[in-house]
């Protein structure tokens, strides 16, 4: 366990994954055994109908942030996409563009995949579900961010970008995104975009909001730098700062980040390490998967089997890892609120 200096002030082919070759065969168990996967088959891309309330599981109880952090367990889930990024929608689906098939998919916890639309691209990055249920996807190679309907239609939100990567949705409904050394915000009602922050000669990544949406966290991947922007009540940036330096470098860069309800920050490294940066500045390794290419992290939606107190890690070489954190994830605008 390492203590780092920190300035935190606020708390608060064309086949779907179910038939992709060798996915299930490579689902090896490296952590303590988890229960057998069950959950709703969720909606299909053609209907978009919500799943029944019986599939959502028990209500989320308020979490005691003073309680000791539990010991995590983990497993590799079969029949999951292999992608740069993903997100969870409000109907019990994992949303991702599968790298092998070039398809935008909805995938249930039980492993059933529905095709939304073809989405062949050289390099896709950030994937986020917007408040209205559409999907925003960063096309890193073409320098665009697209808006994708669950029915399969697509339009361009922003173009002319330098390597758009990470995405985040604020409680103001706006989309925040990185484009190489800058963080931008686009008003989805007007399509107007503005630059909020620049860090010259850096490759910014890992956007995630604090639980109260008063701050936006980011990282400079290969430098190991974690930073934060703070906002006032009018959503104007009032402070920018570097809050921590994590072990990182060529071949093991920082990538996706996510926060729990207690304002602990989780940062995934591309070689399979998941760090947790606590409020007091304590840095610990939650899991070390010794994995090929872990690029994204999300707490489950709490719907259809994707547990709200589990972090799901995307491994571009193997699929999705399920990590039992024992602490719920912070609320997201398109999902039911966390107490």
CATH at 103: 2.120.10.30
Tally Cβ neighbours within 10 Å of residue 285: 14
Residue 169: is its pLDDT beyond 90?
A: yes
Rounded CA separation 158/191 (Å): 8
Nearest CA to 83 out of 273, 334, 298, 310 is that of: 298
Contacts of range 171-177, beta carbons closer than 8 Å, 24 or more positions apart: 171/209, 171/213, 171/333, 172/213, 172/235, 173/130, 173/131, 173/333, 174/235, 175/128, 175/130, 175/136, 175/145, 176/207, 176/216, 177/126, 177/138, 177/145, 177/207
Longest dimension (CA), the chain: 51
pLDDT digits (tens, 9 = 90+) for 14-52: 333 433 323 333 333 334 334 445 554 444 444 343 333
Give pLDDT, residue 48: 41
Question: Could you give the angle at the alpha carbon of 303 between the alpha carbons of 297 and 306, nearest 5°?
Answer: 40
Residue 154, domain member (yes or no): yes
Q: How confident is the model at residue 61 (pLDDT cuts 50, 70, 90)?
A: low
Give pLDDT, residue 39: 53
What range does the domain containing 75 cover? 13-46+69-212+256-324
Residue 260, domain member (yes or no): yes
Distances (CA, A) of 238 to 195, 230, 308, 311: 14, 6, 32, 31
Residue 263, domain member (yes or no): yes
Nearest CA to 302 out of 76, 51, 59 is that of: 59
Instruction: Tell me how long the chain is.
Output: 339
Tokens (6 digits) for 69: 């952090």
Residue 319, domain member (yes or no): yes
Total count of domains within the chain? 1
Residue 8: is its pLDDT beyond 50?
A: no
Kindly state the average pLDDT of the residues 280-303: 92
Give pLDDT, residue 94: 98
Kindly state the average pLDDT of the residues 8-12: 32
- Whole-number percent of the chain with pLDDT over 90: 69
Rounded CA separation 333/11 (Å): 18
Between 233 and 291, the more confident residue is 233
Contact (CB, 8 A) for 293 and 302: no
Residue 247, domain member (yes or no): no
Residue 17, domain member (yes or no): yes
Q: How confident is the model at residue 5 (pLDDT cuts 50, 70, 90)?
A: very low
pLDDT digits (tens, 9 = 90+) for 192-207: 999 999 988 888 999 9
pLDDT digits (tens, 9 = 90+) for 253-270: 999 999 999 999 999 999
Residue 187: is its pLDDT beyond 90?
A: yes
Residue 58: is its pLDDT beyond 60?
A: no
Residue 56, domain member (yes or no): no
Q: How confident is the model at residue 291 (pLDDT cuts 50, 70, 90)?
A: confident
């Amino acid at each position: 366990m390492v203590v780092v200096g920190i300035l935190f002030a606020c708390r608060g082919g064309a086949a779907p994954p179910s038939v992709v070759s060798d996915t299930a065969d490579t689902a090896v168990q490296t952590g303590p055994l988890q229960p057998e996967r069950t959950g709703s088959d969720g909606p299909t891309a053609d209907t978009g109908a919500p799943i029944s309330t019986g599939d959502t599981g028990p209500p989320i109880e308020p979490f005691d942030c003073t309680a000791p952090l539990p010991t995590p367990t983990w497993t590799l889930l079969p029949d999951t996409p292999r992608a740069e990024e993903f997100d969870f929608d409000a109907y019990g689906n994992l949303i991702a563009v599968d790298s092998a098939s070039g398809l935008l998919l909805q995938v249930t916890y039980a492993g059933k995949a529905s095709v939304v639309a073809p989405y062949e691209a050289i390099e896709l990055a950030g994937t986020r579900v917007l408040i209205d249920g559409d999907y925003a996807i960063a096309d890193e190679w073409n320098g665009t961010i697209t808006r994708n309907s669950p029915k399969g239609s697509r339009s361009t939100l922003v173009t002319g970008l330098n390597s758009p990567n990470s995405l985040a949705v604020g409680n103001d409904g706006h989309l925040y995104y990185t484009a190489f050394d800058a963080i931008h915000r686009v008003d989805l009602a007007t399509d107007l975009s503005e630059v909020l922050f620049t860090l010259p000669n850096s490759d910014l990544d890992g956007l995630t909001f604090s639980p109260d949406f008063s701050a936006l966290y980011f990282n400079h991947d290969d430098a190991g730098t974690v930073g934060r922007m703070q906002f006032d009540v009018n959503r104007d940036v009032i402070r920018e700062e570097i809050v921590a330096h994590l072990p990182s470098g060529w071949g093991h860069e920082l990538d996706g980040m996510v926060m729990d309800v207690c304002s602990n920050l989780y940062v995934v490294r591309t070689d399979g390490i998941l760090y947790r940066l606590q409020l007091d500045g304590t840095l610990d390794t939650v899991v070390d998967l010794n994995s090929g290419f872990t690029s994204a992290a999300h707490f489950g939606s709490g719907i259809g089997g994707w547990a709200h107190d589990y972090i799901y890690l995307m491994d571009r070489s193997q699929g999705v890892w399920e990590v039992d954190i024992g602490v719920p994830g912070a609320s997201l605008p398109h999902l039911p609120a966390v107490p």
